[in-house]
Amino acid sequence: MYAFTYHRPKSVADAVALQGRFEDPKLLGGGQTLLPTLKQRLARPSDLIDLGQIPELQGIREEAGGLTVGAFTRHAQVAHSDVVQRVIPALASLAEGIGDRQVRNMGTLGGSICNADPSADYPAAVVALKATVRTDRREIAGDDFFTGMFETALEPGEIVTAVHFQTPDKAAYAKFRNPASRYAIVGVFVAVFGSEVRVAVTGAGPSVFRADDMEATLAQDFRADALNGASVSADGLNADIHASADYRAHLVRVMARRAVEACG
């Protein structure tokens, strides 16, 4: 790890102001990606701005037909929240399946979506649950937030403060985890809002995406077996030593089926 200066602001305004003062600052959420990156000397920020002591970034509350989750909410807090378990149980279950216990006790919602790892779980929920990402300066629709591999619509210095998830009629997340890292090789989040069905896929491609064909099929016939004929193209999907693009394409269908089954 290279040396850096550590800051712990008490408000979003202070964090924004701090960022403006330094040459190459970096925001620190739960640190589950950033700290290993620093330890391996793959990043060299001049300053680390720890967002962990900012009350505005904390908390889970029911609001406007959904749930608002503060950006600094840790995965374990989402997983164990009575409110989340009652309002959007699929979201609690997704959080319970992230990484391992240590990761869940440290990692945060905001950190996860800002990093936009193609194998992260939360992006699938943000897209499928028609979320709105709130920042220090605006609101961004969940559909527009993830723009590519490790890329988001955030402007330089923009700080995510909370994510508002809409409450679906029913929803479920089915994940095929990487046995080593326990990231998603493929994760499929299915959510039903009235006649609309959303199928968001993470892990398979460079960034989370919606499976349009499956959405259309399920909107007509919301049964797992309705997906039997669905084929997912392997074109453009990720491939690595753990899973080829073909295998990922296959898993998208299998996980989508399982998510639909889990919707009940």
Partner 1 sequence: MANPTGIGASVRRREDARFLTGRGTYTDDINRPGQTHAVFVRSPYAHARITGIDAAEAMQAPGVIAVLTGADMETDKVGSLPCGWQIHSKDGSPMKEPPHFPIARDRARYVGDAVAVVIAETREQAKDAAELVMVDYEELPAAVTSLKALEGGAPLVHDDIGGNLCFDWHLGDAAAVDAAFAQAAHVAKLDLVNQRLVPNAMEPRAALGEYDRATGEHTLTTTSQNPHVIRLLMGAFVLGIPEHKLRVVAPDVGGGFGSKIFHYGEEAVVTWAAKKVGRPVKWTAERSESFLTDAHGRDHVSHAELAMDKDGNFLALRVATIANMGAYLSTFAPSIPTYLYATLLAGQYKTPAIYAEVKAVFTNTVPVDAYRGAGRPEACYLIERLVEVAAAETGIDKAELRRRNFVPASAMPYQTPVALQYDTGDFAKNLDIALPLVDYDGFAARKAESARRGKLRGIGFATYIEACGIAPSNVAGALGARAGLYESAEVRFHPTGSVTVFTGSHSHGQGHETTFAQLVSERFGVPIENVEIVHGDTSKIPFGMGTYGSRSLAVGGSAIVKAMDKVERKAKKIAAHMLEAAEADIEVKDGRFVVAGTDKALTIGDIALQAYVPHNFPLDELEPGLDEQAFYDPKNFTYPNGCHVCEVEIDPDTGVVQVASFAAVDDFGRVINPLIVEGQVHGGLVQGIGQALYENCVYDEESGQLLTGSYMDYCMPRADDVPSFTVRYHEDQPCTHNPLGVKGCGEAGTIGASAAVMNAVVHALSEYGVTHLDMPATPERVWQAIRRHTPAQAAE
Residues near partner 1, by CB under 8 A: 1-3, 40-41, 176, 179-181, 183, 241-244, 247, 250-251, 254
Closest to partner 1 by CB, 63 vs 225, is 225
Q: Residues near 178 by Cβ (< 8 Å), separated by ≥ 6? A: 119, 184, 185, 242, 243
CB of 204 to partner 1, least distance (A): 14
CB of 124 to partner 1, least distance (A): 18
Closest to partner 1 by CB, 170 vs 242, is 242
Closest to partner 1 by CB, 179 vs 264, is 179
Place of tokens 């959420």: 29
CB of 242 to partner 1, least distance (A): 7
Closest to partner 1 by CB, 194 vs 241, is 241
- What does the alpha-carbon distance between residue 55 and residue 199 come to, in Å, rounded to a whole number? 33
CB of 41 to partner 1, least distance (A): 7
Backbone phi, then psi, for 247, in 5-degree steps? -65, -40
- What does the alpha-carbon distance between residue 245 and residue 36 come to, in Å, rounded to a whole number? 27
Closest to partner 1 by CB, 2 vs 212, is 2
Angle at 179 between CA 33 and CA 246, to 5 degrees: 100
Closest to partner 1 by CB, 40 vs 195, is 40
CB of 213 to partner 1, least distance (A): 18
CB of 54 to partner 1, least distance (A): 30
- The answer to whether the beta carbons of residues 177 and 183 sit under 8 Å apart is yes
Place of tokens 């850096």: 4
Backbone phi, then psi, for 7, in 5-degree steps? -130, 150
Q: Which parts of the chain are beta strand (E)? A: 5-7, 25-28, 47-50, 60-63, 66-70, 132-135, 139-141, 146-148, 151-152, 160-166, 170-177, 184-193, 196-202, 209-210
Task: Report residue 74 as tokens.
Answer: 């840790």
Closest to partner 1 by CB, 220 vs 228, is 228
- The answer to whether the beta carbons of residues 168 and 230 sit under 8 Å apart is no
CB of 147 to partner 1, least distance (A): 24
